[in-house]
Structure 1
Amino acid sequence: MDPKPPSPPHVLIFPCPAQGHVNSMLKLTELLLPAGLHITFLISAKDHDRLSRFTTVHSRLSSYPGFRFHVIHGLYEGPIDTDEKLNLMLIDSLPKVTTPLLRNLLLDSQVTCFIADGILGFALDAAAGTGVPVMFFRTVSACAFWAYFCIPDLINSGDLPFQGTNLDERIVNVKGMEGFLRRRDLPSFCRSGLSNTTFQEVTNITRRTPDAHALILNTFEDLEGPILSHIQKHCPNIYTIGPLHAHLKARSISKSTSSNSLFQEDRTCIGWLDQHAPKSVLYVSFGSIATLTRDQLIEFWHGLVNSEKPFLWVIREDLVSSLDDENKVPSELEKDTKERGCLVGWAPQEDVLTHSAVGAFLTHNGWNSTLESIVEGVPMVSWPFFADQQPNSRFVEAVWKLGLDMKDTCDRRIVEKIVKEVMEVRKEEFEESARRMAKLAKESVSSGGSSYRNLDRLIEDIKKMSTQSN
């Protein structure tokens, strides 16, 4: 009698329940499934409902019999745009609800490997004693990860907490960033006191990364090689497999855009873009979490109108606080917007950035947005909101030369000036840098490229784990 064939490797994937995290870890899932891996994807009830309503993810993944969603009920599902709300999710809700669930899954489901969002440190505790290797997937850039990792060193050197209010003071104790990093470019949590719980939690979690079996990053070597070399001294087993969305297309897994949006996309803006000349439109989006005050909204609005550039602006329903009938947008701005602007509640961003009419991207520099802009060769105007976005925006300007950073300012004259600088005065310079980096990004995910090879290595290593466990 022939022996029973070994079971396919079974991977458990668990993202932090937020748009950028779910999006990138679903793309990782789509890259792993064609290799014959079975995957259980843990997801909050709210995010699962939104994916079901707004995307084709179920039809895309239903062709893989080894895939299933495991829906988690009882999580905090409110906004995470403040330290207090982020703490409620990361420190209170997630560990309490999911740790027992994870233990049961890891013990009872013959899991080969557990790929956990690297910001969920309790995943290591849940897996302790189960024999299941834990890989951390960090959805931030390598440069942001390294800045987080170095925070204890900055405390020891006296750089943190800040003394005085000068945010332009140079930080020289983050290796690889000595020549250009300022206080204002550190992750936003560094501006709070050392007793801030979010600051402590993110720092502690990042320092636990070497305890994981491996670190997976959505980046590529030509973009962040020097920083990766510093990380590798602490985390020797790194898989850089990004940009993930470009990797999907390069492997012919998804020639069309694989949207994993938790918001309903308004595709009418594509028709609006069709009416404009190449590289003439400024695309504006602050992502899924950032919020503006009414005053900030008005300053941005004046700056965009005064730049005299056509603009496509994503204004989420919850983007602006205190915007009601008494605080509505001035009529003259609405009039000028009708002449040269297009406002949508949410845009199909990958398709927008691919469109020939888009000449620049005013972005919060969330990592997915930054990579999507890099792949399409679109220069950036950076206005980071919090967390990893601060170091990302500094690298966009000072290292990669892909645009200008206007963090910590929100003035209509500065907005107008920076937009014109990127789209007129230094247009050719930024477009040339963007073209060069886009070429390197696409080469990295093409057959033989660094990210392509690293994904193959990741898949083979997971399969070896399965062989060893059988």
Structure 2
Amino acid sequence: MENRGRNSKRLVLVPGPFQGHLTPMLQLATILKSRGFSITIAHTQFNSPDSSAHPDFAFLCIPDGLSEQEVRNPDLAAIVLRLNDNCKSSFRECLSQGTNHTEPGEKICCIIYDALVYFSEAAARDLKIPSIALYTSSAATTIVRPILHELKAQGHIPVPDSMLQVPVPLHQPLRFGDLPTFNFGSLDYFFEVVALAYNLRPSSAVILNTVHCLEESPLAQLNRKYQVPIFPVGPLHKFAPTSAASLLQEDTGCIPWLDKQTHNSVIYVSLGSVAHMSQDQLSEMAWGLANSKEPFLWVIRPGSIPGLEWIESMDEEFKECVKDRGCIVKWAPQKKVLAHEAVGGFWSHCGWNSTLESICEGVPMICQPCFGDQKVNARYLTHEWRVGLELEGEIERGTVERAIRTLMKEKEGEEMRQSVLDLKNKVDFSVGDAGSSCHYLSELVKLLTSL
């Protein structure tokens, strides 16, 4: 529990219980703590953060009522709906009890909540506390989500094969195949989450972990459509580089291995904290990496291959073939990896945090989006910013080998590397004293101070 100062203002921040949502919320908390606010992290029992990594914050655990069976449900939308159903009253009760422990002169001035945990806004409204939503996706994803219901009513979702390559009107460069939908779980549950979580209007303001120079057009659309202040204050990790948020144990042993590799020689492979792959996909990825002859650092998350604990089924011939130029770990300190001079490319699922982290380190990407906003991000990386190339269709070793060689050795890859370095420089300026993100962060602090 943190020390509370008199006459300070307390913010309650409520992260979504998935890695891609928890990370930016804890980064935002670190930033706002440095601006003089007292911070409480109110979190669900499911995927709760490590409070010992953040001794300057108070932590409030919200009973979420999830059973072991519900926690293991692969349908993420079903988990989100259940959490929101279970947590509104318990969160309100936690807040009421929590205010009994504040010192004289201190009050909760605002609840900042991840859009996924929309029960927070309802509880804030009941208690007459201002609330602000944090959207952890790109502005392009945020602006396109509201049209999904209309497209579903028109019969365009699920997207038929004949429309996958058709441009989405008013949302170029997106095609219908790039829309942020899920290809697993209940479509009805997914659309219920979209309706309840991604509605900007109830909040006093909206915070986006993005940068004006990357998303000028989508941000302009958001500002025209919604009559609330919008604060693009990203990349948050640049303002809070030491914030720890990983739900999985990071293997730092890969850093000494990277130290032995030459400049820009390593392809880093990580498909995020949620995606799964079949044993056939694992084999094709493995032999594509082996046949490329390039050094690689590969993150394979335990349990990400159904039916296996880890990589016990991996071909012994493959292991022998790559033993001197491959490093396989269960989880990696990604920001340190991307910042390492040996890393010359990132084969990614294109989650928004990973996308921003790669751009910020000037690392071009191979894009293998799995679901949701990852497809939007991949399209922007490949066709708007031109700093990545996409693996489309079934993963096949020949395709993998060609993509790696293109990125790491050919002129097209070198052009992407120059483009991403140009973007990196623009983002670096944005987080500087005269930059847009620094400006919006100052405006956010002014708003919070006025509440």
Structure 2 length as normaliser, TM-score? 0.90
- 1:353, 1:373 within 8 Å by CA — same for their partners in 2? yes
| In 1: Cα distance, 2:275 partner to 2:193 partner | 19
Structure 1, residues 417-446: CA drift from partner, whole Å, max 9, x if none? 111111122122011111011111111111
Question: Cα distance 1:22–1:208, how it changes in 2: closer, same or farther (>3 A)?
Answer: same
**Aligned residue for 1:204?**
195
Alignment of 1:391 onto 2:376: yes
Alignment of 1:371 onto 2:363: no
Instruction: After TM superposition, list the pairs within 5 Å mapping 1:122-161 onto structure 2.
Output: 122-155=119-152, 158=154, 160-161=156-157
CA drift at 1:143: 1.2
- 1:176, 1:230 within 8 Å by CA — same for their partners in 2? no
Question: Cα distance 1:154–1:164, how it changes in 2: closer, same or farther (>3 A)?
Answer: closer
**Aligned residue for 1:243?**
235
Structure 1, residues 142-169: CA drift from partner, whole Å, max 9, x if none? 111122122134346x362246423533
- 1:381, 1:418 within 8 Å by CA — same for their partners in 2? yes
Alignment of 1:170 onto 2:166: yes
Structure 1 residue runs of 5 or longer lacking an equivalent are 250-256, 466-470
Question: Cα distance 1:204–1:97, how it changes in 2: closer, same or farther (>3 A)?
Answer: same
CA drift at 1:258: 3.0
| In 2: Cα distance, 1:80 partner to 1:242 partner | 33
Structure 2 residue runs of 5 or longer lacking an equivalent are 100-106
- 2:136, 2:352 within 8 Å by CA — same for their partners in 1? yes
| In 1: Cα distance, 2:221 partner to 2:70 partner | 31
CA drift at 1:74: 4.3
Instruction: After TM superposition, list the pairs within 5 Å mapping 1:38-187 onto structure 2.
Output: 38-45=38-45, 47-48=47-48, 51=50, 57-58=53-54, 61-62=55-56, 67-76=57-66, 85-102=75-92, 104-105=94-95, 109=99, 110-155=107-152, 158=154, 160-162=156-158, 164-166=160-162, 168-173=164-169, 175-177=170-172, 180-187=173-180
Alignment of 1:447 onto 2:433: yes
- 2:266, 2:342 within 8 Å by CA — same for their partners in 1? yes
* SS of 1:391 mapped into structure 2: helix
Question: Cα distance 1:375–1:82, how it changes in 2: closer, same or farther (>3 A)?
Answer: farther
- 1:137, 1:216 within 8 Å by CA — same for their partners in 2? yes
CA drift at 1:388: 1.1
Which deviates further from its counterpart, 315-324 or 32-41? 315-324
Question: Cα distance 1:339–1:81, how it changes in 2: closer, same or farther (>3 A)?
Answer: farther
- 2:77, 2:193 within 8 Å by CA — same for their partners in 1? no
Question: Cα distance 1:83–1:322, how it changes in 2: closer, same or farther (>3 A)?
Answer: closer
CA drift at 1:127: 2.2
Question: Cα distance 1:118–1:46, how it changes in 2: closer, same or farther (>3 A)?
Answer: closer
Alignment of 1:429 onto 2:415: yes
Q: 1:233 aligns with which of 192, 215, 224?
A: 224
Structure 1 length as normaliser, TM-score? 0.87
Q: Following superposition, which runs of at least 4 residues in structure 1 exceed 6 angstroms of deviation? A: 77-83, 324-327
| In 1: Cα distance, 2:379 partner to 2:361 partner | 20
Structure 1, residues 270-300: CA drift from partner, whole Å, max 9, x if none? 1111111100000000111111111111111
- 2:350, 2:367 within 8 Å by CA — same for their partners in 1? yes
RMSD of Structure 2 on Structure 1 (CA): 2.6
**Aligned residue for 1:254?**
none
CA drift at 1:201: 2.1
CA drift at 1:341: 0.4
CA drift at 1:221: 0.1
Which deviates further from its counterpart, 390-399 or 140-149? 140-149
Q: 1:457 aligns with which of 409, 429, 443?
A: 443
CA drift at 1:100: 3.0
Question: Cα distance 1:328–1:395, how it changes in 2: closer, same or farther (>3 A)?
Answer: same
- 1:383, 1:408 within 8 Å by CA — same for their partners in 2? no
* SS of 2:324 mapped into structure 1: helix
Structure 1, residues 195-232: CA drift from partner, whole Å, max 9, x if none? 72332123203552122111100000000111111111
Instruction: Give the aligned length.
Output: 438
Structure 2 counterpart of 1:216, one-letter code? I
Question: Cα distance 1:160–1:400, how it changes in 2: closer, same or farther (>3 A)?
Answer: same
Identity %: 33
Structure 1, residues 4-28: CA drift from partner, whole Å, max 9, x if none? x983222111011111211110000
**Aligned residue for 1:468?**
none
| In 2: Cα distance, 1:351 partner to 1:79 partner | 35
* SS of 1:316 mapped into structure 2: coil
* SS of 2:108 mapped into structure 1: coil
Which deviates further from its counterpart, 204-213 or 444-453? 204-213
**Aligned residue for 1:217?**
208
Structure 1, residues 308-330: CA drift from partner, whole Å, max 9, x if none? 11000011111211237998112
Q: 1:263 aligns with which of 245, 248, 254?
A: 248
**Aligned residue for 2:104?**
none
CA drift at 1:384: 1.1
**Aligned residue for 2:283?**
298
Question: Cα distance 1:215–1:325, how it changes in 2: closer, same or farther (>3 A)?
Answer: closer
Q: 1:410 aligns with which of 392, 395, 410?
A: 395
CA drift at 1:80: 9.4
Q: 1:309 aligns with which of 263, 283, 294?
A: 294
CA drift at 1:88: 3.5
